[in-house]
Chains A and B, each alone.
Chain A
Amino acid sequence: MERQQVIDGLVDILKTIRTISPEKLAGITEETDFVTDLNTPSTEMINIAAKAEQKFGVEFDDDDIDGLGSKVKDFIDLIIKAKERE
């Protein structure tokens, strides 16, 4: 799976998180930080992870989620890692 495909899929998920301003989703890159750039409430990170599992057909390890960084690239790495494990 290409990394850009993952970003596109993540943006689709983020559009459903109403606490994230839709205007902030236009220029998302791998370096975008969920907390500092998108002002994502910390409680929403697990919602994003759960939706990513569904969208990409993967299952994350709890240890991986516990150690997850706050940048988009951290999510991409997590998704690709889970995909490769299957």
Chain B
Amino acid sequence: MPNAERKVAVVGMGGAFPCCSDLADFNDKLFSGKSLIREWGQALAHGKNIRSTVSGFITEAEMGLEAIYSEIAEGYPETYIDTLRRIPDGNLATADLGSIWAMLGALDAIKMAGWSESETQSEQTGVIVGSGGAGHVILRPAWHNFFELHRKSRVAGSHTVDRAMVYRDAANVSCLIKNKGVCESIGSACATGLGNIGYAYRLIKFGIQDRVIAGGVEGTSLETFIGFDAMQVLSRGFSPNESSRPFDVSRNGFVCSFGCGIVALEEYEQAKARGANILGVIDNYFNNSDGDGNMFFPSFAGQKRLWRGLMGDSTLKPDVVKVHGTSTPVGDSVELLSVVDVLGEEGYHISAPKSQFGHMLGAAGAVEFIAALLMLKQQKVLPCLNSVTLNPELENFQRSDSWTGPQKPLQAYRNLIPQQAFAKEINSIVCLNYGFGGTNSAISVSNDRS
């Protein structure tokens, strides 16, 4: 059960961000209103066989990595070289691209946190990191060599399991930092990033761990991209920087992106006692399911229950709501209307960072949580780029007899959604993320008020 005496502080962060050299570069580009979305050569190479060609992708070279391809297994990346010598070769041998990003993010987060070696390697330190997808980049060529080329199973070597297993990111981080506490991954589709941080928060809040490295990863993978491309849910027809346009009336899908967000969480009193820099204090985390049997369609009722679970009887409004805001037609409208139904029509602002870097799938909740921490630090609201025109007409579902939410069109809430970053006093932010299967996650994070 939660321990009322224990609070959870965020004391470090790191990760991998499209078009950015590091966290400071990510910060600068976000608050200067830049888009991190580009045309993706890997998608363009497939011509008419692929529908969307824009992404917030990260190349190996941009992360200081180089793939070594097998001389015996066709197309198989046997291992990666860290050209900047941050990760030992033994750890690289067991990692796919996303796991390497997770290890790099963990090192940065621990450095920022200032944890000693004994604290990092303690039984009271856990690792909770997950991905939305499998290790597709490893599995596809390994399986191709076996099933299509009829090669022996050993041709792809002995690391296809550890480089592709569900909790590969957490396992690789744990083997690198040598913690002795919990090591697990939470999977909840596009809520994965926030789900892992939320579970990590509970481990500390419930008194099970004192420190946790937590976050979400989605390694660059065309294999992942084409699954969504086939569903026709990806944005198309816009220039790259205009492709992700949450809440805009002309939005037609999300931008499939990749990245990694890792945070260091610590029991608040211990962090304060050692003089740690507190980046934020987590007020609460709550998650639930829609319960309507629908894999894909968002649930207004489910999202309202999410808010009730997060806020309880509190009538305090967050200063900023960091929405899921994917730029899909139905998802954005249901989300905006559920936020308005709970919080009212004024007194807060909505930030949609996916408008700048797209939807990082299993990393989305973690990278966007970092974006929220940066908003707390900068005391600025990140914008919703490209939300130029909001629908002046009611959504179709608002016209149905069963609709119980707001009766105004989205355009009525224009004032909540800034198109440029702007300064204001920010004491608390609520972050929302949802995933296929009707899973909903929410976290509230505040400035250290002590």
Contact = CB atoms under 8 A, between A and B. Distances in A.
Contacts of A50: 72, 152, 154-155, 157
B430 to A, nearest CB: 44
B79 interface: yes
Interface in A29-55: 41, 43-47, 49-51, 53-54
B90 A19 contact: yes
Contact of B93 (A19, A49, A51, A54): A19
A53 to B, nearest CB: 8
A51 B158 contact: no
A41 B72 contact: no
Contacts of A44: 93, 158
A24 interface: no
B92 interface: yes
A16 interface: yes
Interface string B148-168: 000010110111000000000
Contacts of B89: 18-19
B5 interface: no
B159 A43 contact: yes
A50 B152 CA distance: 9
B301 interface: no
Given A16-B71, A18-B68, A47 B92 contact: no
Contacts of B93: 18-19, 41, 44
B71 A47 contact: no
B139 interface: no
Nearest to B90: A19
A41 to B, nearest CB: 7
B112 interface: no
Interface string A41-78: 10111110111011000000000000000000000000
A45 B157 CA distance: 9
B43 interface: no
Question: Which among B89, B90, B152, B154 has the greatest number of chain A C-beta atoms within 10 A?
Answer: B154
A51 B72 CA distance: 7
A53 B152 CA distance: 11
A1 B352 CA distance: 67
B81 interface: yes
Given A18-B81, A18-B93, A41-B90, A54 B71 contact: yes
Interface string A6-34: 00000000001011000000000000000
B68 A49 contact: no
A45 B159 CA distance: 11
Nearest to A51: B72
A47 B93 CA distance: 12
B81 A47 contact: no
B68 A54 contact: no
A1 B193 CA distance: 56
10 contacts: A16-B68, A18-B92, A19-B89, A19-B90, A41-B90, A43-B159, A44-B93, A50-B152, A51-B71, A54-B72
Given A41-B90, A45-B158, A47-B159, 18 more contacts: A16-B68, A16-B71, A18-B92, A18-B93, A19-B93, A43-B158, A43-B159, A46-B154, A46-B158, A47-B158, A49-B154, A50-B72, A50-B152, A50-B155, A51-B72, A53-B72, A53-B152, A54-B72
